[in-house]
Amino acid sequence: VVIIEAVNLCKSYSMGTEQFHAAKGVNLQLYEGDFTVIMGSSGSGKSTLLYLLSGLDTITSGEVYFKGQRIDQYSEKEITDFRSNKIGYVYQSINLIPDFTLLENVAFPGYVAGRGKSEINIQAMTLLQMMGIAEQADRLPSQVSGGQQQRAAIARALINSPEVIFADEPTGALSQEQGTIILDILTEMNQKSQSIVMVTHDIKAACRADRLILVKDGNIDGILELGKYSPDQ
Ligand code: ADP
Ligand code: ADP
């Protein structure tokens, strides 16, 4: 089942009087339940594509559909609701709020979505537990490791039960060991039917993909069907 579809998707950035074309007519379908991995050299347009497919940035032309609904024509309110309820986003830079504890960081998007306090706190705690960082719930981001911060960021992305998790180089700032923990968490979530779209430079991370999408110079350069990851591979 197609969950996200891009049709002739273009994105241009203006740089002074010049236009830079970071997406040049991308046609792409992403499937529900897939662990999709996007690879390509630096500057090829991977982050741009992730921003456009997730509705985090406006497109220049073309169409983006989420479950058959055209999200690029959503009103300001519709797109805000979409971002807060349908997708979760994990960044390489982690960007937790430094003055909030891990629990408060994870719970925060729940408050923004207008949900009840006790329900959010219980769910936030459950997610921290799932990520193996329940003991760090009351610590500030600066008081835990990078890997633990990234696990909290994944928990935060999950708080409103999104249909798709987008992750832009989630292991890029982490040690090999912490990176593997993050990949194991994402793989386990995917095995429980969570759709994931991840940008990475790391071959080990790419091995977790059902489908590998290669991006080059603002367009799709190839798609590899890999099937479900198993640890024996
Ligand atoms: P990747 O994630 O593959 O490294 P990006 O999508 O970040 O690539 O960027 C693709 C190209 O678009 C790069 O050349 C980058 O410099 C340019 N670009 C990205 N974002 C902007 C922006 N906000 N303004 C101008 N140029 C941008
Ligand atoms: P990545 O780690 O995926 O390569 P970048 O470091 O290229 O990401 O980009 C990080 C952020 O900076 C993104 O929000 C992107 O849109 C923005 N950006 C990237 N290149 C440019 C640019 N040339 N001008 C302005 N913003 C940019």
Residue of 71, 24, 34, 63 lying closest to 197 (CA atoms): 34
- Strands 69-70 vs 18-31: parallel, antiparallel or unpaired: unpaired
Q: Which atom of ligand 2 is nearest to the CA of 168?
A: 3
**Amino acid, single-letter form, for residue 217:** D
Query: How far is the C-alpha of 231 from the C-alpha of 184, rounded, in Å?
Result: 10
Query: How far is the C-alpha of 49 from the C-alpha of 123, rounded, in Å?
Result: 31
C-alpha distances (whole Å) from 165 to each of 65, 85, 170 are: 16, 11, 11
Pocket of ligand 1 (CB under 6 A): 13, 15, 20, 22, 40, 42-48
pLDDT > 70 in the chain, percent: 99
User: Ligand 2 mean position to 191 CA, how many Å?
Assistant: 31
> Which residue in this structure is represented by tokens 């979530």?
189
Mean pLDDT for 18-42 is 96
User: Ligand 2 mean position to 57 CA, how many Å?
Assistant: 13
Q: Which ligand has an atom closest to residue 95 CA?
A: 2
pLDDT of residue 166: 97
pLDDT of residue 232: 63
Residue 93 has pLDDT above 90, yes or no: no
**Amino acid, single-letter form, for residue 26:** V
Residue of 111, 112, 107 lying closest to 127 (CA atoms): 107
Residue 198 has pLDDT above 70, yes or no: yes
pLDDT of residue 228: 78
Protein residue closest via CA to atom 26 of ligand 1: 13
User: Ligand 1 mean position to 43 CA, how many Å?
Assistant: 6
DSSP 77: H
CB of 152 closer than 8 Å to CB of 131? yes
Q: Which ligand has an atom closest to residue 53 CA?
A: 1
Spatial neighbors of 98 by CB under 8 A, at least 6 apart, are 140, 141, 142
The pLDDT tens digits for 60-84 are 999 999 999 999 999 999 999 999 9
Task: Give the pLDDT band of residue 119 (cuts 50, 70, 90).
Answer: very high
C-alpha distances (whole Å) from 107 to each of 21, 114, 149 are: 37, 11, 14
Complex-level ipTM beyond the 0.90 threshold: no
Q: Which atom of ligand 1 is nearest to the CA of 42?
A: 4
User: Ligand 1 mean position to 116 CA, how many Å?
Assistant: 38
Q: Which atom of ligand 1 is nearest to the CA of 168?
A: 2
Q: Which ligand has an atom closest to residue 22 CA?
A: 1
Residue 95 has pLDDT above 80, yes or no: yes
Mean pLDDT for 160-169 is 95
Protein residue closest via CA to atom 24 of ligand 1: 13
Residue 173 has pLDDT above 70, yes or no: yes
Residue 66 phi, psi (nearest 5): -120, 115
Return the beta strands (E) in 61-218 as ranges: 61-66, 69-70, 87-91, 164-168, 195-199, 211-216
Task: Give the pLDDT band of residue 92 (cuts 50, 70, 90).
Answer: confident
Task: Give the pLDDT band of residue 196 (cuts 50, 70, 90).
Answer: very high
pTM of the predicted model, to two decimals?
Answer: 0.89
Give me the chain's average pLDDT, please.
94
